[in-house]
Amino acid sequence: MGRIVELLAAGIPATLAVTLGAFAIGLLGALPLVALRLAPLAPARWLAAALIDLLRAVPPVVWLFLIFFGLPQAGLSFAALPAAVIGLGLIAAAYIAEIWRAGLDGVPAGQRDAARALGLTPLARLRLVTGPQALAIAVPPLGSYLVGLLKDSAIASTIGVNEIAFRALTESQQSLDGLRVFLITGVIYLALSLPFGLLARWTSARLQRQVAT
Amino acid sequence: MTPLLEVTGLSKTFGAREVLADVSFAIEPGETLAVIGPSGAGKSTLLRCINLLERPTAGRVVLDGDELTAHGRSERELAQVRRRVGMVFQSFNLFPHRSALENVVLAQVHALGRGRAEAELRGLELLARVGLSERAANRPRQLSGGEQQRVAIARALALDPALLLLDEPTSAIDPELKREVLAVVRDLVADGMTMVLTTHEMRFAEEAADRVLFMADGRIVEEGAAATVMRAPAHERTRRFLSAVRDL
């Protein structure tokens, strides 16, 4: 039992690398998407909506296969770990763009009115008035998404990233003790997701205190 | 005297609904104009068209010789224009994540480019003027409605606007707290601030405003010296409105 825990725990760094790497790409990649999504030009909005739908409609495992097995044919080869981070990161960008957008939509219209009436430029309004308030609205769903991403990172095992689920699968095939191996696997994921959930709740409570009306 | 604000043929439609129809008036520097009328008359839209929070469908707004409604102005250029017109909202719209003082300082620094020290000094001065020196560090949610509205007035004054628009400044405030807000507005009248305000406080309109403009269904029904419109209105529609609100 101790041996199995140790073996699976050795996959934690790879799991965290996939999760946090994809989350970081998602947070940054969402910014241009949401900017396009809210652009005054209609074709820009359509393009963003189409990209977001495309990223979300295709199953994550298909994106990973496309990047890992498909792109080398086009001369673009990635190792398994970066392929997983890029694939899950792009999908995360689409979901997080919608979270940012919902956050901005949730800021009361009067805030925008007041910021405009004070002669703030569009960028200053976003940075000083609507952005901080949208962030407070966005943190709880971002936290849920991060926990979801931690679990989805197990998909990286399909292209051979040496993370928790990959190790569990290999070990269960060798030891023929799948019940014990996957129960322990579940407990490890649970233990990892708890701090993420707590962090999200703590951040959210702090931000809510700051912007609550 | 040349008017400070000249509104000519202003119209605004939302879809098929005509909210403002051919509204024209002018105000001299130092004048206070009260806009009265039933809900839905277009009073708020009129104010929002003056500082271009809404783009008028037709007509001109000229402030101090500069046509604000000139075509093709980007949102960035409009931001510059709006710095010369202060606005106070019915629901205050203070920034909830900033203290009272920071609410007053924010646009001075980020719209006018004033130094922070100068902006804070001016902010404290304005908070003192509206009687809220001791509330400078409080967040909006810790203030009463009357206090929030006074901070909002200080925030609007901080940009030294040529014109101040007040959109039903006391409508969302508890009756016993209205007095403190009205006192601040009276003080501005005495100080010679040029203002356009919409209000349901008839006694206040008559006493504080130089002129009153009565609107119904997006049109100006009549306009004149405050005492004349309030005491001897020329139009039947105005009489009906005034007797209805005074019966309350």
pLDDT in tens, B2-16: 899 999 999 999 998
How is chain A split into domains, by residue range?
2-212
Find the distance separating the first CA and the last CA of chain A, reported in whole Å: 52
pLDDT at B116: 96
Assign B12 to helix, strand or coil. Answer: strand
Q: Which pLDDT does position B248 carry in this prediction? A: 61
Q: Work out the minimum CA distance from A101 to partner chain B, whole angstroms.
A: 20
Evaluate whether the domain defined by B1-84+197-248 bears CATH number 3.90.180.10. Answer: no
The predicted structure's pLDDT at residue A142: 93
User: Tell me, what's the pLDDT at A212?
Assistant: 56
Instruction: Report which of B157, B156, B163 is spatially closest to residue B31, judged by C-alpha positions.
Output: B163
Percent of chain A having pLDDT more than 90? 85
The pLDDT of residue A213 is above 60 = no
pLDDT recorded at residue B107: 96
- Average pLDDT of chain B? 93
Which amino acid, one-letter code, is at A160?
G
Interface test with B, best of A107, A118, A208 (most B CBs within 10 A): A118
Residues in Cβ contact with A43 at an 8 Å cutoff, skipping those fewer than 6 apart: none
* Topology given in CATH for the domain delimited by A2-212: MetI-like fold (1.10.3720)
SS3 of residue B61 by DSSP:
strand
Cβ distance A29 to A52 under 8 Å? Answer: no
Burial of A20 per CB tally in 10 Å (0-12, 13-18, 19+): middle
SS (H, E, C) B176-238: HHHHHHHHHHHHHHHCCCCEEEECCCHHHHHHHCCEEEEEECCEEEEEEEHHHHHHCCCCHHH
Q: Give the best residue of B47, B75, B92, B110 to mutate against chain A (max A CB count within 10 A).
A: B110
Check CB contact under 8 Å for B79 and A122: yes
Residue at A87: amino acid letter: G
Residue B71, pLDDT score: 78
| A124 contacts in chain B (CB < 8 Å) | 110-111
Q: Please state the ipTM of this predicted complex.
A: 0.93
Residue A179 predicted with pLDDT over 90: yes
Q: For residue range A13-32, what is the model confidence (pLDDT) as tens digits?
A: 999 999 999 999 999 999 99
Pick the residue with more confidence: A201 or A151?
Answer: A151
Two structure tokens written together for B199:
């209000």
**Do B96 and A116 lie within an 8 Å CB cutoff?**
no
% chain A with pLDDT above 70: 99
Instruction: Please give the residue of chain B at the shortest CA–CA distance from A211.
Output: B97
A133:B106 CB<8 A: no
Q: Please name the member of B75, B91, B106 whose beta carbon is closest to the beta carbon of A128.
A: B106
Res. A107 pLDDT band, cuts 50 70 90: very high
**pLDDT of amino acid A205:** 85
- Min CA distance, A114 vs chain B (Å)? 6
Res. A45: pLDDT tops 60: yes
Structure tokens belonging to residue A21 = 């790497």
What local confidence, expressed as pLDDT, does residue B94 receive? 97
Please answer yes or no on whether B80 and A113 come within 8 Å at the CB atom: no
Can you list the residues of chain B whose pLDDT is less than 50? none
CB-closest option in B89, B111, B141 to A119: B111
Per-residue CA distances from A155 to B43, B86, B97 (Å) = 59, 56, 40
Per 3-state DSSP, chain A is made up of helix, strand and coil in percentages (nearest 5) of 85, 0, 15
Tens-digit pLDDT profile for residues A54-68: 999 999 999 999 999
pLDDT at A211 (0 to 100): 67
Question: B26-75: per-residue pLDDT in tens?
Answer: 999 999 999 999 998 999 999 999 999 999 999 999 999 889 888 778 88
Count CA within 13 A, CB hemisphere, residue B176: 1
The domains of chain B are located at 1-84+197-248
B79, B91, B156 ranked by CB distance to A121: nearest? B79
Q: Looking at the complex, does the CB of residue B53 fall below 8 Å from at least one CB of chain A?
A: yes
pLDDT in tens, A194-204: 998 888 888 88
- pLDDT attached to residue B235: 92
